[in-house]
Amino acid sequence: MLDEADFRARAAGFRDAFVDFDVYYAGKSFLCTTVARWVAEEGLCLDVCSNGELTVALRAGVDPAKLGYHGNNKSTPELARAIEVGVGRVVLDSFDEIERLATLTTGRSGDPVGVMIRVTAGVEAHTHEFIATAHEDQKFGFSISSGDALEAARRVLELPGLHLLGLHSHIGSQIFDTSGFEVAARRVLALHAKVREELGTEMPEMDLGGGFGIAYTTQDDPAEPSALAAQLGEIIEHECRALGVSRPRLSIEPGRAIVGPSMCTVYTVGTVKEVALDGGARRTYVSVDGGMSDNVRTALYDADYSCTLASRASTAPPVLARIVGKHCEAGDIVVKDEFLPADITAGDLVAVPATGAYCRSLASNYNHALRPPVVAVRDGVATVIVRRETEDDLLATDVGAHEGESR
């Protein structure tokens, strides 16, 4: 369930706080045509990282000039389509990709294609290994320390069909302080200055990425957009003065921080089972009608969530509960530990908040489960914006299921 007013308010909050920045909503967190329209209506740009996400953005009527195209393995057809529709910027991730774009733009008429170079700044973000993206040993970007990032800039500047807009850095996800951004900004701006000094070009832009954390549980304490804007702006101003360079046009890419808190998932309880633990303690296992097919983050990132009994009030004493899915995996856990009323039973509804980011985007048909709908709510009115899958959807691509039908 997606709260439209809350989504729009969070989008506007970033837009208004980062008034001197370009704010790109990270579509990978959650995207459908309705959400893409909301993003455009709130004055944000949109980041996509696949041909499918690009298709959704275009179907929603988003101005291609306000689109950024990410991805570590963009194919030649994907790059060709991005150029054809007029995507505002392509974020380069490899020398292979530079060569592909060079081939596609050779002899091409019209304006050069705007590109940014994604760099790895060697920052160890304090987050899970799988969502930390600025250390050296991983798949994204060009290393600053090895010299690859400077070489990438050199090659781009030699290609008349490309326009080097600037450098792009993303240090990870679910980050709660700006210390990592400060270290990354210092290293990226040092490269920015080096490009000016050695290659004779002062790039007009710089992207600091996203990854701003949200409150999944009461232990999380995220910063407000206004505080983030002030801190990041101060960091950039200080480093630019120290290096003697002009402040580039900055951009950020919040996704989770906008859509994450705006959505919750509502499950129906099916089975309740009490299990004995070591030392005599007991835990109640509450099985629901979903699980890792609609939220794989607990299994994938060891993510924490909270939950609440949503269908009724209860005065029963609390019991330690674990919310688990219906899939054939011991790791199919939605909420690892939470206190729920002892009288929780089949048919009750359990709500898990802050599921807007990456839950539906990473959803699967594991065990041939049907993916649930997404319902937007505003002013007491509910509207389905992504319908529930059906068995016909499930079988549509199963060639064997259509044997005997006319082709």
Averaged pLDDT, 47-52: 97
The two most distant CA atoms of the chain are separated, in Å, by: 75
Long-range contacts, stretch 130-138, CB < 8 angstroms, 24+ apart = 130/300, 130/301, 131/172, 131/173, 131/174, 131/211, 131/301, 132/171, 132/172, 132/173, 133/170, 133/171, 133/172, 133/173, 134/169, 134/170, 134/171, 134/172, 134/180, 134/184
Residue percentage of the chain with pLDDT more than 90 = 84
User: Has residue 12 got a pLDDT over 50?
Assistant: yes
Q: How far apart are CA 257 and CA 211, in angstroms?
A: 8
Provide the total of helices (H) and of strands (E) in the chain, helices listed first.
11, 18
pLDDT category of residue 391 using cuts at 50, 70 and 90: very high
Q: How far apart are CA 342 and CA 321, in angstroms?
A: 9
pLDDT category of residue 236 using cuts at 50, 70 and 90: very high
Catalytic residues: 328
Which structural domains are found in the chain, ordered by start?
Answer: 2-260 (3.20.20.10), 263-395 (2.40.37.10)
Nearest to 127 by CA among 135, 119, 139: 135
Nearest to 335 by CA among 356, 306, 364: 306
pLDDT tens track for 181-232: 888 889 999 999 999 999 999 999 999 999 899 999 888 889 899 999 999 9
pTM recorded for the entire structure? 0.93
Mode of pairing for the β-strands spanning 249-252 and 113-120? unpaired
Q: How many CB atoms lie within 10 A of CB 391?
A: 10
User: Has residue 279 got a pLDDT over 90?
Assistant: no
pLDDT tens track for 98-136: 999 999 999 899 899 999 999 998 876 554 344 344 456
pLDDT, residue 281, reads 83
Based on C-alpha coordinates, what's the Rg of the chain? 23
Q: Are 323 and 265 in contact (CB under 8 A)?
A: no
CA distances from residue 20 to 17, 23, 117, 169, 192 in whole angstroms, order as listed: 9, 9, 21, 18, 19
